[in-house]
Amino acid sequence: MKGLLYLASALIIIGLVSISATTACCPPPAEGGLELTLFTEIDDNDVEVYGTTNLPGGAVLVAFVIQESSNRTEDRYAHVQDGQYSADFNLRQAGFVDGQVTARVIFQPWRGMSPEQPESIYETFGDKGQNMMGDLAHEVTINNSTFKRAQIEQTFDWVRCG
């Protein structure tokens, strides 16, 4: 009889934990952690960097295009809306030359650093991203402080038009 009582108590406790977790203000984006995809679409000199994510709407990503051979880097903020983001670049105007270009997208929920995130993001991931989970989450150290960020990148060949 005691065994059944303990089992019933355990099930009630598990149920309460489940209820409080589902009613929490800011649940993690997914059980497996942060998800982020990256695609590039090239149209002559224009490149769109876009993808999907399980981050909530309003989260801010930083999209980059980088070319080491010309020592050029351009960046744009990309706001998550309905699980998607995008950023547009004109590589010719930015001074890129024919060759390899790397598209990179970063999510860094660090309070007090650019880009500023909505308060709900800090509640979910912490002031330094310390609560971020998933394969894309990595620790970085800046000025003796440890932060977490997610990063994904893709390299493609580009030829200048016009």
Q: Averaged over 58-64, what is the pLDDT?
A: 97
Residue 23 lies in a domain: no
Report whether pLDDT(4) > 80.
no
Q: Averaged over 56-60, what is the pLDDT?
A: 95
| Host domain of residue 130 | 29-158
Report whether pLDDT(49) > 90.
yes
Confidence at residue 33, expressed as pLDDT on a 0 to 100 scale: 87
Q: Averaged over 4-31, what is the pLDDT?
A: 34
Residue 2 lies in a domain: no
**Phi, psi for residue 100 in degrees, rounded to 5:** -80, 140
Confidence at residue 114, expressed as pLDDT on a 0 to 100 scale: 87
- CATH assignment at residue 81: 2.60.40.1940
Residue 145 lies in a domain: yes
Residue 16 lies in a domain: no
Contacts with 70 (C-beta within 8 Å, 6 or more apart), sequence order: 95, 96, 97, 99
Distance CA 151, CA 21 (A): 28
Residue 148 lies in a domain: yes
Mean pLDDT in the chain?
A: 83
Report whether pLDDT(30) > 50.
no
Number of structural domains found in the chain: 1
Distance CA 66, CA 126 (A): 29
Residue 7 lies in a domain: no
**pLDDT tens profile 96-125:** 999 999 999 999 999 988 899 999 999 999
Residue 18 lies in a domain: no
Residue 57 lies in a domain: yes
Confidence at residue 32, expressed as pLDDT on a 0 to 100 scale: 59
